[in-house]
């Protein structure tokens, strides 16, 4: 079975010109089939602020009302996505920018009211607005592009099949794409960001945890070593492994070829 790399890059890397250039150089050098999934939340927050819109976050997730949906659609599907595609074309990568609505590759439904634990510890029912929870993905459509040498660059937007765009978590998008392509390829899913992996001590870059399995994950969460935004990332990683993805790596954006960092097993 041919190998495939699904690379997810976060908004902090996308926001920084030098970091993005390093990441895209690495991505371009990866051999074989590959897909890039990107975030862009920091850019969306900046542009929303310039338009007088306040970004409201709950549990690390963006509340997306109709005005914010317009912003994230423009920023994720337009500014960030097409900038990345243009830079990849300059590196000789024949990329195409997509959202979940394009070719109907990822369909979702509007998230219902959800009970969320807030920073102060109490729980509250939250309406996230136009946020999508993924229902299905079309791996065959993506495979058809890859078979023709076209590299998908996917923005964190999906659709509900009834004409509405939905803001969707980029880590979930990457996991969804990896799972959808697992029947056709030997898939490695790599989450890359500005840190070298999952660390026991965020202040010590030599404290990277090399391997995490389900049992150690439970212990690390219970002890508070893993918390915050790393939890949904790892939840997505274990879900991907359970549904046919061969391996998941969490690493620095400059190490996606070497694949050093934290491996989920």
Domain positions in the chain are 3-264
The reported pLDDT for the residue numbered 233 is 83
Mean pLDDT of 14-42: 95
**Pairing state of beta strands 3-9 and 186-193?**
parallel
The reported pLDDT for the residue numbered 227 is 82
What pTM, to 2 d.p., does this model score?
0.94
CATH architecture, domain 3-264: 3-Layer(aba) Sandwich (3.40)
The reported pLDDT for the residue numbered 155 is 98
CB-based contact 101:159 (threshold 8 Å)? yes
Q: How confident is the model at residue 112 (pLDDT cuts 50, 70, 90)?
A: very high
Terminal CA-to-CA distance of the chain, rounded, Å? Answer: 20
Task: Give the chain's mean pLDDT.
Answer: 93
Q: How confident is the model at residue 119 (pLDDT cuts 50, 70, 90)?
A: low
User: What is the C-alpha to C-alpha distance for residues 262 and 265, in angstroms, rounded to an integer?
Assistant: 10
Identify the bridge partners of residue 20 per DSSP, sorted by sequence position.
none
User: Does residue 75 or residue 120 have the better pLDDT?
Assistant: 75
The reported pLDDT for the residue numbered 158 is 98
Q: How many whole angstroms from its chain centre is CA 184?
A: 21
The reported pLDDT for the residue numbered 188 is 97
Q: Single out the residue of 232, 204, 2, 156 nearest to residue 250, CA to CA.
A: 232
Phi-psi region of 117 (alpha: psi -120 to 50; beta: other; left: phi over 0): beta
């Amino acid at each position: 079975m041919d190998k495939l790399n699904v690379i997810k890059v976060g908004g902090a890397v996308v926001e920084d010109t030098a970091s993005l250039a390093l990441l895209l150089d690495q991505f371009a050098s990866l051999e074989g089939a590959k897909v890039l999934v990107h975030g862009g939340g920091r850019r969306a927050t900046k542009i929303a602020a310039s338009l007088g819109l306040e970004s409201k976050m709950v549990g690390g997730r963006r509340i997306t009302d109709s005005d914010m949906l317009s912003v994230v659609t423009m920023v994720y599907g337009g500014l960030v996505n097409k900038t990345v595609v243009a830079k990849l074309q300059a590196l000789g990568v024949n990329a195409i920018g997509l959202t979940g609505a394009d070719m109907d590759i990822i369909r979702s439904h509007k998230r219902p009211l959800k009970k969320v634990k807030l920073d102060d510890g109490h729980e509250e029912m939250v309406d996230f607005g136009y946020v999508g929870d993924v229902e299905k993905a079309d791996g065959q459509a993506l495979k058809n592009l890859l078979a023709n040498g076209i590299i998908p660059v996917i923005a964190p937007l999906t659709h509900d099949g009834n004409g509405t765009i939905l803001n969707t978590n980029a880590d979930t998008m990457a996991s969804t794409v990896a799972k959808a392509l697992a029947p056709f390829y030997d898939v490695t899913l790599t989450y890359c960001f500005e840190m070298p992996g999952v660390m026991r001590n965020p202040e010590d870059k030599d404290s990277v945890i090399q391997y995490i399995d389900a049992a150690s994950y439970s212990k690390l969460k219970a002890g508070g070593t893993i918390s915050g935004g790393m939890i949904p990332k790892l939840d997505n990683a274990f879900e991907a492994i359970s549904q046919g993805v061969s391996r998941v790596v969490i690493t620095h954006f400059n190490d996606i070829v070497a694949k050093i960092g934290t491996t989920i097993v």
